[in-house]
Structure formats: structure tokens, C-alpha cells
Chains A and B, each alone.
Chain A
Amino acid sequence: MRMHSWGRYPISDSTLLTPRSSADFAQHLNTQSSIDGGTVIARGMGRSYGDSALSTTVLATKGMDNFIAFDESNGLLSCAAGLTLDSILQTFMPRGWFLAVVPGTRYVSVGGAIASDVHGKNHHVDGTFCEHVSELKLLLASGEVLACSRTENTTLFHATCAGMGLTGIVLEATLRLRRIQSSAIEQRTIRTANLEEALEKFEDNLNYTYSVAWLDCLASGPSLGRSLLFLGEHATDEKFKVPSKRTISVPFSSPAFLLNRYSMGLFNNAYYYKPIRAGQSQRIEAFQYFFPLDSIQHWNRLYGRMGFLQYQCVIPDEGALQGMRKILDMVSAAGKGSFLSVLKKFGPANKNFLSFPMQGYTLAMDFKFEPSILPLLDELDRVVGDHGGRLYLAKDARMSAEFFQTSYPHWEKMRELRRGLGADTLFHSLQSQRLGF
């Protein structure tokens, strides 16, 4: 069947299977490994943007979505890898628990969060998702199941975390939840005149746990990179509201011409000047702060049937201002843009082989898919590379093997490990094949 992930590009022709138990998964791997040239990749909620969860055969994990156990005394939760972060939050927020790290959507599976080693708006304080994973159970190509942690099968643990499903299939994981005193977030909004001021304000406010900036990427000249910076802290009012399930939905692909530099320009201008209570903090529900887009189901359809590409890069501190200025200049000059340009601060990198974050700033932009966008993104790659940065695999659909291999120095260790596990012929996504694994 035709399959795609969140960006709706590229489209693959894959067989989709939904095993219901770890025995089922093992059986499918056994069948697949005896087929010549057939490759397998696990798929959670399919929220990666490109081709990380596309392959000849795709094994969906949503049939394995059970909780296993929860220890109230230390917040350790074990669960099957197909369980979504949404289910975890719906169950545990009312009881006063939260996940230490959440990405921009709650509709990702635990396995997916581990495979992409997702980050949130608090990376500079709390690191990535896997920093709060104490153990995982991995199904290897051989059919063996290994427990991996920082004390057991450590190398395999650091390869699987951020490993994009290329070491095997994560069946279960144990996460450490964090206590919260409220389901609300105290948010403070700062309007910045340009990119330089945005970076200054980030640095001034490192004491806030959560920070994220929306950038107007169509602004140019002195207003280049003008943005709204949203700072957040958990409230302490002991009020736990059950998350609302009300959403609106985009029922079908909107015609692509509706999203162009003029309509986006109008939107960006309106959003940049929206009323903010400068200097005052506003109490908003956690789901609104962390997952603003989740309230619009199928928002990816707004980009039309051709889909869209998300470009997310990180540039180290020293070159961040210069590099991002160059990128925004190039994007603005090309007349390409997105509603959603997001800037976040990152803390230091961790030990996971293919983990994306490094000390510096990360910029994420959506581009409607048009053939003319691809050369632009290659140019952006050059700028990112020149400043010592790299791209996020979970968002990537078109990065070259060359750029990947230069920017992720541990990739060779990953390749060797896969060979040793017998995973190198079996576990492949269209992305891993493109990147040279």
C-alpha cells in the first residue's frame, strides 16, 4: 500500500503489518530475513516527517500499547513501545505526574520518542527524552530480546537511543516520570524586534525551564528573525484539569496555492503583532503550551497534496547568530516560507550515537513541497555545515549521505554495530538507505 509519514513526502509502496505481541514481531522478523532484499522498519505513530518510518515492510507498533507497571514511589513507568505519550499524559497528569521531556506533539509512541531521541522546549535544562529512559527491551534481527540501559548492554543502549529503529525493534521501555504541582503552565511572552534580540532574550532567560520562539521567517532587513519568545514554568496551584479532547480537523488536503508568500506574509504579520501581556505571565493549560498544533487534527493537510518538508538544523553557539541570519536571508530572498518557524536553545549533546541536539540553537522551518525547494535546502545544508551544525533525522526527507556522514561523526560506529548484530541487511528505512547505511 501507499504510505507516507507526517510531511506526506516521500510516498513509498510498503507492506504494513500490525503485530499484536512480541512473539508476533519476532515471527515477522524471521519471515522477513529469509526474503531477499526485503527490509523492515518499525513505525509508531508515523509522526516523523520524511522517510524514517518507510521501508519495504513496515511493522506498526500500535498493537502493543499496554502499560506494564508504575511505581508511585519513584515515578518509574514501564510500558510497551507502541503506547503514545498522549495516553501516558492523559493517565498520569491528573495524578500529578508529567514527562520530563515532551516533543511538539503528544501523538508519538514511546518507541518513536526513543528512536528519534526527541527533545522539547527544555533541552538546555533537561536534555532529551532518552535521558529519562532508564531501560529498554530491544528485539534483535536474530530474534533475541536484550535489556539495554546505562549499565547493561550500554553501547547498544546508546546506539538504540536516537537510533532511528536501525538496531532492532524497541518492545518495551521504562521511563522516569516527574512530579508536577499543577496541570497549568505560567507563560510569559516577549516580542523581539529581530533575530539578534531573540538570541539575547534566550540567554537572559535561561533560568526558565521551558522556552521556545516563533519566528517570522518572511521578515527581512532590520526585522530579520523577528519573533515571539514563549517562556514557561509549571504552575504550582495544585489544580489538575483533565486535558480537553476538543479538536478541529482539516478534513482534506487544501489546494496548494492557498499557502503562498502573500497569505503566509499576512498570517505572520498578524501573529507577530497579536496582543501579548508584556511583562506579565499568563496561566495556560499544559497541552496548549506544549502541543499547540495537536488541537488541529491533520494540520499537515494544509500544505496540499504534494506535502511539505521540514528543515530543522542546529548550529553551535559561536556561529548561531551568523549562521541563522544567513539562512533566514536565503529563505526570505527565495520567497519561500512557513507559518511555523521555531527557534529553541539547546544544551550539550549526549552520548547517543545519532542524537541531534548539541550546544547551540535549533531552527525548524516548514516548506511546502515544490521541486524548486530542493536546491535551496542543499544551499542551507552548506551554511549549516560551514558553521559546524547538523540536521534532525526525524524531520529529514532529502539530506545527502555526504552531509549526514560529515555532521554525525559517530555514524560509522553505528554502521559497525549494525553489522555485528546482523541488523545491517534487515533493518533499513528509505532514509537509512539514502544516508549510506
Chain B
Amino acid sequence: MKSILIIGANSAIAKATARLYAEQKNALYLLARDPEQLALQKADLTVRGASSVAYAAFDATDLASHGALVAQALEALGHFDIVLISHGSLPDQALCERDFDAALEAFNVNALSVISLLNFVVKPMQERRDGCIAVVTSVAGDRGRQSNFIYGAAKAMVSTYLQGLRGRLFPHNVTVVDIKPGFVDSPMTAHLPKGALWAQPEQIAQHIVNGIEKKRGTIYAPGFWRLIMFVVCSVPEVIFKRLKF
């Protein structure tokens, strides 16, 4: 039985992952903005088999609250076997380009809040010399694209940070997993047209659980995105800057 902290627990990917962990009878602690949704999730996960489910409401952008919230979760669970960070937002690129406040919010939600939380999560895991930290970033962070480089930059910040953290924590036996989903059909992308490359949150969740189990470093979910991004990143800049996607 593992003790698992899920941050951004109301997101579609986190919900699907929590369900898989509940079926394995683990102990779960959930952090998200909407306590009503969290209460519904608690009931659902309990029926599915979770050995215990507790939760608290939290606002990712309230950086000052992170310390206390993580401490509360640690108190409830006893220790962290797995910490999954899965909150985020898809900003309006055009708006962010016109209004820096919107861009700043996007960076706060998607990057700075993640790093702030990681600070508090790393200490107890490092001391215990065990566990896995998993963060959902995005393939968008692999290369900046005209259509969403604010989102891409924020996710890239987190991915680069995780690379360094991985090395820092390796001697302490703590694994750091970077999960890079491609297009996922979820409330965050409800307004976008879907196509053949789109995955369901349940598929991503299975990749996350498998990847954490196998202590992988970077996971592309689904796997074909590794090849797609390899090609995308190989395109010379001279050509790439002329592409409009």
C-alpha cells in the first residue's frame, strides 16, 4: 500500500490516475481548488478500493500557502511514496501576447507554483531516501511553437528544472519522472477540434502508473509522441520559424 499525494487532483488526468491508484488499494491525499469535486472524488475512490482518501482545497497561485498544505498532507499520509503534480491551465496565446498579466498568470500556474510545491515535497522524500516525484508537463515544452509558446515556455521551464532535480535526488534514491502528454481530450482542451492524435485521460493515466512503477525518467504519453517530437526538434530553425503551427 503506497501513500500518494496528488496535486491538481480535479484535473482529468489526475482523476483517472487516482482511480487506478485507488483500485490498487493505496492511501490518497488530494489537493485541488474545488472542495465539492474533491468530496465527490473521495466517495468515488473509496468505492473503487482506496484504503484512505483525504483532501484539502488549495490555490496553486497562492505560493505562501504551499508549505502548510504540503505539511498537512505529510501529516495525514505519514510519508510520500508518490507525489503527482498535475495542475495547470492552457492560456490564450493571443491574449498573453497582448497582456503581460495574462502571461504572468500562465507562468505562475504552470511553472512557478510547480517549482514552489516541489521545494516542500522534496525535503521529506530526500530524508526518507525513497519515493517518486512525477510531474505532468507537455510535449509543448520540447520546442517553442508560434501557436503556444507561452504554455510551451512554462512547461519547458518545469522540464528543465526536473532534469536538474533528477540528478540532485539520484544519490538520495528518489526518482523524478517527467510526464509529457501530447494532445489530450479533457475539459482543458474542450474548445479545441479533435483529431486522430488525441488521447483520453485514462490512457495517459495508465502511462503514468506504468512509468512510475518502472521508475522511468521522461515519459511521452502515448509513446508515439517521442518520435513525433524527435522529428519536430530536428527541423532546422531556418525552416521551423517559417512554419505556422
Contacts and interface: CB of A to CB of B under 8 A. Distances in A.
B37 interface: yes
Contacts of A77: 47
Contacts of A91: 23, 47-49
Nearest to B187: A20
B232 to A, nearest CB: 25
A272 interface: no
Contact of A66 (B23, B43, B49, B190): B43
Nearest to B15: A66
B23 A67 contact: no
Contacts of B23: 91
A21 interface: yes
A62 B48 CA distance: 17
B44 interface: yes
Interface string A85-112: 0000001000000000000000000000
B40 interface: yes
A18 interface: yes
A331 B172 CA distance: 73
A68 B45 CA distance: 9
A68 B47 CA distance: 7
A70 B23 CA distance: 15
Nearest to A23: B36
A68 B23 CA distance: 15
B190 A18 contact: yes
A69 B36 CA distance: 16
A67 B190 contact: no
Contacts of B175: none
Contacts of A21: 36-37
A145 to B, nearest CB: 15
B108 interface: no
Interface in B147-187: 187
B138 interface: no
Given A91-B23, A91-B47, A91-B48, A66 B187 contact: no
B41 interface: yes
Interface in A55-77: 63, 66-70, 77
Q: Most B CB atoms within 10 A — which of A20, A66, A69, A77?
A: A66
Nearest to B185: A18
A137 to B, nearest CB: 14
A69 B44 CA distance: 7
Contact of B43 (A20, A63, A67): A67
Contact of B44 (A20, A63, A66): A66
Contacts of A20: 37, 187
Contacts of A68: 40, 43-44, 47
A90 to B, nearest CB: 9
A18 B185 CA distance: 12
The listed residue with most A CB atoms (<10 A of its CB), out of B37, B47, B187, is B47
Contacts of A70: 47
Contact of B41 (A18, A63, A66, A69): A66
Interface in A1-58: 18, 20-21
A91 B41 CA distance: 16
A96 to B, nearest CB: 14
A67 B49 CA distance: 11
Nearest to B42: A66
A69 B41 CA distance: 11
A77 B44 CA distance: 11
A67 B48 CA distance: 8
Nearest to B10: A20
A368 to B, nearest CB: 26
Contacts of B37: 20-21
Contacts of B49: 91
A93 to B, nearest CB: 13
- Among B36, B37, B43, B49, which residue has the most Cβ atoms of chain A within 10 A? B43
Contacts of B36: 21
Contacts of A63: 187
Interface string A282-318: 0000000000000000000000000000000000000
Nearest to A17: B190
23 contacts: A18-B187, A20-B37, A21-B36, A21-B37, A63-B187, A66-B40, A66-B41, A66-B43, A66-B44, A67-B43, A67-B44, A67-B47, A67-B48, A68-B40, A68-B43, A68-B44, A68-B47, A69-B43, A69-B47, A70-B47, A91-B23, A91-B47, A91-B49
Interface of A: 18, 20-21, 63, 66-70, 77, 91
Given A20-B37, A21-B36, A67-B43, 6 more contacts: A20-B187, A66-B44, A68-B40, A68-B44, A69-B47, A70-B47
Q: Which 3 A-B residue pairs are closest in the complex by CB-CB distance?
A: A67-B47, A66-B44, A67-B44
